[in-house]
Chain A
Amino acid sequence: MKRSLLIIIVAVLASTALFGGSYLMSRRVCQACVTQSTDNLDWLREEFHLNDTDMARVRELHDGYMPRCAEMCGQIAAKKEELDAELHGATNITPIAKQKLTELAVLRSQCQAQMLEHFVRVSQAMPPEQGRRYLSEMERLTIGSHEQTEQTMSDHAGHMHGEH
C-alpha cells in the first residue's frame, strides 16, 4: 500500500510537471512568435482581416491623427499641472481651481470627440461589416470603460448612501 501510494504521488507530480512545463513553454514560444512585430496597427490587420489597400488607408489616417492626439495630450497635461499647482497646499477649492477643472474637462471632452471622429474615419476605411465591428469595439474599449468606471462609482455611492 505504501509503495503504491508513493508510485501514485510520483506519477501525479510527474504528470503535473509534464503538462505544466509543456503548457508554459508553448505559451511563451507562441506569444513571442506572434508579438514579434512592433507595429501598433498589426492588431487591426489581424482582427479585422484588412488587406494591403485597407491597411494603407488606415495607416494614413492613423499617421495623420497621432500628432493631433499628441498635441491634445500636451494641452491636457499642461492644464493638469496648472490645476495641481492651484490645489497644492490648498484647504478648499478656490474659484480659480474650479475654473481649471472646467477647462480640463473641456479639453478632455474635445480630445475624446477628436478620438471618436478618428475611429469613425478609420471604420469608414474598412469593409462595412468590419468597420461597424471596429467602431463598436473601440467605443467599448475607450468610452465604454469610462462608463463602466462611472457605473461602479455610482453603484458604490448608492451602497454608501444606503448605509446612512
Chain B
Amino acid sequence: MNEENFNPDDAKLSTLLRQSRSAHSLPPRFQESVWRRIEENEAPVAARRGWFEELAARALRPRFALATAVVLVLGGSLFGVREGQQAARRDAQTRYVQSVAPNSLR
C-alpha cells in the first residue's frame, strides 16, 4: 500500500469507512448472559455441583448408560467364556484321571 495516498482527513474515505461498518444487533440479554458465563467458568466445579450429583446426572444420560451396559455385558461374557473353558478343561481332566487312576490309588 502506498502511504503517500493515505490521508485521514479525507472526507470521502471517512464516509466509506462509516458505511462499511456493519450494524449487527446483539441478541437479547447478551450482556447478562456473558457475565453469567464468565462467573460460571470462574466458580470451582465442586461448588457448582458435587461429584456425587455429577455422577448421578451422568448415569442418567442415555448414551453413557448404554455404553456402560455394553461394556459390562461384553466384560462379563468374556470373563465367563474364559472361566467356562477352564472349568470344562478341569472337568475333562478329572474324568480322564478318574478313568485311569481310581480314588483308592490317589
Contacts and interface: CB of A to CB of B under 8 A. Distances in A.
Q: Is the interface of A mostly helix, strand, loop or mixed?
A: helix
A18 B74 CA distance: 10
Q: How large is the interface on A (under 10, 10 to 19, 20 to 34, 35 or more residues)?
A: 35 or more
A26 to B, nearest CB: 3
Interface stretch (B21-29, B36-44, B48-56): B48-56
A46 B104 CA distance: 27
Interface residues of B, number: 40
A152 interface: no
B47 interface: no
Contacts of B50: 1
A145 to B, nearest CB: 5
Given A19-B75, A62-B100, A108-B104, A30 B85 contact: yes
Given A18-B69, A19-B75, A69 B100 contact: yes
Contacts of A73: 102, 104
A132 interface: no
Interface of A: 1, 3-5, 7-8, 11, 14-15, 18-31, 34-35, 40-44, 46-47, 62, 65-66, 69, 73, 76, 80, 108, 111-112, 115, 118-119, 138, 141-142, 145-146
